[in-house]
C-alpha cells in the first residue's frame, strides 16, 4: 500500500543547513520560522480559530533525508554516538518514512489575502521543510505528565558557555540594529547545546566549525570546553 | 510535490468502526490495540530500546477518511457541531492530508521471530489503521506544561452514568470469563464520553445506538441523560 501526500505549506527557518539545528523543538526558544500555506490551502478559513492555541504540532518531511533505503538501528547523539538503538525508539531524521513531528510555539497568525503565514518560535526545522499537516496542541491529550522517557528522560545538557570575540560581538550588535533582532540570543541558544556531532567530541583535534544561521555563516571554535564565536560571514554581501 | 509513504505497521483495535471511538488518545485508558510491524520493518532491532519509554507517538492514516477533496472548515463536536473552525485549528479526521497523531501508552513489546508487536492502551484508533511511523514520547519536548488549548483547553466531559440491564450485565460478565477481560470497564469508559454525534444531541427522538467494540455490537440507549447498555450481539456466533 502506498499513500501519497502533498505539502500544505513550506517552512522558512533561521536554520539554513542541517548542522546546528537543535535536536528537538523547544530547545532554542529564540529559533524562529514562518510557515506559509501553499495554494489551495492558503485560505483564511483553514486556520480560523488557530490563534487561540499557544502551540501547534507540525507534521513535516525530512526533505534532505529522503532516501529509498532504511536502517533498523541508528546511533542517537544523546548516547554519544556509540550505542545503537532501534530507529523507532529514537526521533532520528533517518527513518523508513521521513516524517518529522515538532510542537512549536505559535507566536502570531498573519492573514492577508492569499498570504496565510504562521509565525513560529522554538523550531528545530530546516529552511524549506515541506509541512504535511498542522494540528493544535491539546494539553489534555498531548501533555502526558507521567510519561517516562527512556534514554532521553531528561532534556539534553545545554549549558556550554558561549563567548564572542570583540570582532564577532561588534558584528552581531551591528546586525541586530540592521534588521536581525535577537541574533546574539539565537546564536548563544543554538551553540550552547553543543551542535558538534558525537564523533567530533571524541576527536578534539577538530575545533573549528561553522553553522549557517539566517544569512550568515557563524564560525566558531570549541576550545577547552567552551564555544568561541569568531566571525560571521554574510551570505548576502561581504564578510562582517 | 507529491510524497509517497508506505505503512510500517497495522493496528488491530478494540474499535471496529468509527462510531464510538474516543476523540483523542488517552481518554479511554482501557482501550487496547496492537500494532504489528509489516515486512520489511518487522525486525527486533528496529524497536530495540523502545520498551524504556512509557508512551509512543503514532503517526497514522485516517484510512476510512481518504478522499480527494477537502474542506477549509469543520464543525468540531466539542463546540456542539454548530460552530465552524479552520481544519488546521482542529484535530478532525477530515483533513487535506489524512494523517492522524496519537500519543498512546506502550504496555508491552512482543518480539518473536518476525512477529514484532506493540501492545498499546488508551488508543483512539480504528481497527485496520495503517501506521506510518512510531516515535518515542519525549516528555521534555512533548509535554508543554504552559501550553494553552483554545476551544479544547479542558478535556471533554466524560461523566455520563452508564448502566447495564440485568441481561447485558450477565452477558458482559460471562464474556469477561470467556476471554474478554475488562470488557465492562472498556464499555463504560467508552460510553461515558457520550459518543453520540452532535446532531443527535439536538434530536432526542433518536435514542437507540450501537457501537462495534471487539467482537460485539454493543447496543445502548440514551435515556434521560444516562446511558443504558441493553444488549451485546456477537459478531462471531449468536446473540448473547
- Do both A221 and A107 map to the same domain? no
Number of domains in chain B: 2
- Do both A29 and A137 map to the same domain? yes
Q: Do B103 and A49 touch (CB under 8 A)?
A: no
CB B237 within 8 A of CB B38: no
- Do both A118 and A185 map to the same domain? no
- Bond into B40 cis (ω within 30): yes
Q: What is the CATH number of the domain that holds B88?
A: 2.40.30.70
- Do both A32 and A107 map to the same domain? yes
- Do both A30 and A135 map to the same domain? yes
Which chain A residues are Cβ-neighbours of B54 within 8 angstroms?
Answer: 144, 146-149
Residue A103 placed within a domain: yes
**In chain B, which residue's Cα lies nearest the Cα of A42?**
B72
A-B Cβ pairs (cutoff 8 Å, strict): 260
- Do both B85 and B187 map to the same domain? no
- Do both B173 and B215 map to the same domain? yes
Q: What is the CATH number of the domain that holds A184?
A: 3.30.2310
- Do both B222 and B116 map to the same domain? no
Helix H or strand E segment including B216 = strand B216-223
User: Which residue, among B38, B125, B147, would best test binding to A if mutated, counting the most A CBs under 10 Å from its CB?
Assistant: B147
Mean pLDDT (chain A, rounded) = 93
- Do both B74 and B109 map to the same domain? yes
Q: Do A5 and B5 touch (CB under 8 A)?
A: yes
Share of chain B above pLDDT 90, in %: 81
pLDDT tens string A15-50:
999 999 999 999 999 999 999 999 999 999 999 999
Residue A240 placed within a domain: no
Residue showing cell 520493518: B41
Q: Of A82, A113, A142, at which residue does a domain stop?
A: A142
CB A71 within 8 A of CB A87: yes
- Do both B111 and B178 map to the same domain? no
Residue B1 placed within a domain: no
Mean pLDDT of A146-150: 88
pLDDT at A42: 98
Rounded distance between C-alpha atoms, residue A137 and residue A121, angstroms: 14
Q: Do B53 and A90 touch (CB under 8 A)?
A: no
Q: Do B141 and A25 touch (CB under 8 A)?
A: yes
Taking the CA of residue B35 and the nearest CA in chain A, the distance in Å comes to 13
- Do both B170 and B131 map to the same domain? no
Rounded distance between C-alpha atoms, residue B87 and residue A133, angstroms: 10
pLDDT > 90? residue A198: no
Residue A150 placed within a domain: no
Q: Of B108, B142, B176, at which residue does a domain stop?
A: B142
> ipTM score of the complex?
0.94
User: How would you label A117-133 residue by residue, b for 16+ Cβ within 10 Å and e otherwise?
Assistant: bbebbbbbbbbebbbbb
Nearest neighbour of A59 by CB, restricted to B25, B101, B139:
B101
- Do both B22 and B137 map to the same domain? yes
Taking the CA of residue B2 and the nearest CA in chain A, the distance in Å comes to 5
pLDDT tens string A78-132:
888 789 999 999 999 999 999 999 999 999 999 999 999 999 999 999 999 999 9
pLDDT at A237: 61
Residue A172 placed within a domain: yes
Nearest neighbour of A57 by CB, restricted to B101, B136, B154:
B101
For A114, the domain range is 9-142
Nearest alpha-carbon partner for B100 in B42, B185, B18, B157: B18
- In the sheet with A216-223, reading across from the earlier edge strand, the strands are A162-164, A226-234, A216-223, A208-213
Q: Of B80, B111, B142, at which residue does a domain stop?
A: B142
Amino acid at each position: 500500500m502506498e499513500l501519497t501526500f502533498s505539502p500544505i505549506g513550506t517552512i522558512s527557518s533561521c536554520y539554513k543547513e542541517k548542522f546546528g539545528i537543535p535536536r528537538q523543538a523547544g530547545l532554542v526558544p529564540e529559533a524562529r520560522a514562518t510557515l506559509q500555506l501553499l495554494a489551495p490551502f492558503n485560505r483564511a478559513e483553514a486556520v480560523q480559530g488557530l490563534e487561540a492555541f499557544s502551540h501547534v504540532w507540525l507534521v513535516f518531511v525530512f526533505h534532505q533525508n529522503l532516501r529509498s533505503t532504511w536502517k533498523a538501528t541508528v546511533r542517537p547523539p544523546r548516547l554519544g554516538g556509540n550505542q545503537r538503538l532501534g530507529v523507532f525508539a529514537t526521533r532520528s531524521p533517518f527513518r523508513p518514512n521521513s516524517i518529522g513531528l515538532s510542537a512549536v510555539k505559535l507566536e502570531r497568525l498573519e492573514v492577508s489575502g492569499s498570504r496565510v503565514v504562521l509565525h513560529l518560535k522554538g523550531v528545530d526545522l530546516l529552511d524549506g521543510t515541506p509541512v504535511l499537516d498542522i494540528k493544535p496542541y491539546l494539553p489534555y491529550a498531548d501533555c502526558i505528565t507521567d510519561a517516562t522517557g527512556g534514554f532521553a528522560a531528561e532534556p539534553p545538557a545545554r549549558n556550554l558557555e558561549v563567548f564572542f570575540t570583540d570582532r564577532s560581538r561588534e558584528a552581531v550588535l551591528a546586525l541586530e540594529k540592521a534588521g536581525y533582532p535577537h541574533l546574539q540570543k539565537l546564536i548563544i541558544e543554538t551553540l550552547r547545546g553543543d551542535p558538534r556531532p558525537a564523533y567530533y567530541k571524541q576527536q578534539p583535534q577538530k575545533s573549528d566549525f561553522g553553522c549557517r544561521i539566517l544569512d550568515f555563516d557563524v564560525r566558531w571554535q570549541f576550545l577547552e570546553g567552551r564555544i568561541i564565536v569568531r566571525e560571521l560571514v554574510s551570505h548576502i554581501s561581504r564578510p562582517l
